[in-house]
A and B are shown apart, each in its own frame.
Chain A
Amino acid sequence: MSKLNCEAVRMASSAASDGLRGSLEPAQLEDHLAQCDDCRREVERLGEVMRLLDSQKRRVSSDQLWRGIEARLAAQTPAKEASRDLRLLVPTGVVLLAYKLFEQLAVHNTGVQIKLVPLLLVIAVFALLKENPFRINAELQLKGESRK
């Protein structure tokens, strides 16, 4: 009996015990196992291990991860928000600078509507950033100052 045949039989027997038909017919497996003591022993030993494992359950963890995850997400968010804020504030600065230049160079007196442009622009930026410019931040701390 070749080693390859024995290996194929053992693998097919392992699959058969899971209810799956491998490359060999059940009758072929039975014939081989009836003749080959090594294979029969191996299949029996594997069957014992499988039965032992099937009677077990996975240990259930009671660890709570949310606090650690929340802290890490919170630490990541300010960097993202800062880069988003910068993407809005830099173009606003450029537009305001261009407006100032336009105002300086304008020969004719610009109307009230044009004068409102910087104010409307700043309001739009605060609205986009979802920030209240009049909010007082009570959480601000000086470096080295401990929170009471």
Chain B
Amino acid sequence: MDDGDAIRACSAGDREAFRHLVESYQAQAIGHAIGILGNREDALDAVQDAFIDAFQALKQFDLSRNFYPWFYVILRNRCYKSAAARTSQKTDSIEEAEILEPSARMPYEELLLLDRALLQLDPEDREIITLKHLDGLSYKELSERLSIPEGTVMSRLFHARRRLRERLTRTTSKAR
């Protein structure tokens, strides 16, 4: 079953067909939600809410488009609603990287410092930085994904990188 078949079946009321979409995109969606919210628990709730919203809106889905970029808009709305509702989170005490995948290329302590610096950013900064550097999206793709002009992508990315550099300097000097 491909996405188009699943969406058509869901629109006809077949709930089981939605399983295909959830299982195909859940890992990607959770990664993106953590990239915005910086917290796994909140991210899981937001992704689940977003899938429920998507199921209810599937009848309006244009089958000539890809599912995930459409779903991402719903997911973002859920994430930013959740971010607005919650109080600030503590990032200094995290023992496990939330956003970054541990690898042999970098010592885990350093990876944790970079992860903490990312977690200290605002959700908007964290989102654009992770989409650019971890997913490798181009300026055009970022512009479409975030619904902003390419010029705004350029300035937002620049300021987000600068703030990340400042946070990284701070977390590194604290750790020493």
Which residues of chain A have a CB within 8 Å of any CB of chain B? 10-11, 14-15, 18, 20, 22, 42, 45-46, 49-50, 52-66, 68-70, 72-74, 76-77
Residue of B15, B99, B162 near A46 (CB, 8 A) is B162
Contacts of B154 in A (CB 8 A): 11, 14-15, 20, 22
Q: How far is the CA of A63 from the CA of B46 in the complex (A)?
A: 13
CB <8 Å contact, B48 and A68: yes
Min CB gap B160→A, angstroms? 10
Q: Is the CB of B44 within 8 A of A63?
A: yes
Q: Please state if A65 and B164 are interface contacts (CB–CB under 8 Å).
A: no
Does B71 count as interface, using CB distance less than 8 angstroms?
no
Task: Name the residue in B18, B35, B161, B168 with the highest tally of chain A Cβ atoms < 10 Å from its Cβ.
Answer: B161
Q: Chain A: which residue is nearest B16 at the CB level? A: A70
Closest residue to B135 on the A side, CB-wise?
A: A58
A73 x B55 contact (CB < 8 A): yes
B106 at the interface (CB under 8 A from A): yes
- Do A58 and B139 touch across chains, with their CB atoms under 8 A apart? no
Identify the interface centre among A59, A61, A68: most chain B CB within 10 Å of its CB: A59
CA of A144 to CA of B141, assembled, Å: 56
Closest Cβ of chain B: how far from A70's Cβ, in Å? 7
In the complex formed, the residue of A with least CB distance to B169 is A45
From known contacts A46-B165, A64-B26, A70-B19, infer whether A57 and B48 are also in contact, taking CB-CB under 8 Å: no
| 10 A-B pairs with least C-beta separation | A53-B133, A61-B30, A58-B134, A57-B101, A14-B158, A11-B158, A59-B101, A58-B31, A49-B165, A15-B154
A58/B47 contact (C-beta < 8 A), A10-B158, A15-B158, A70-B19 known: no
Q: Name the residue on A nearest B167 (C-beta).
A: A49
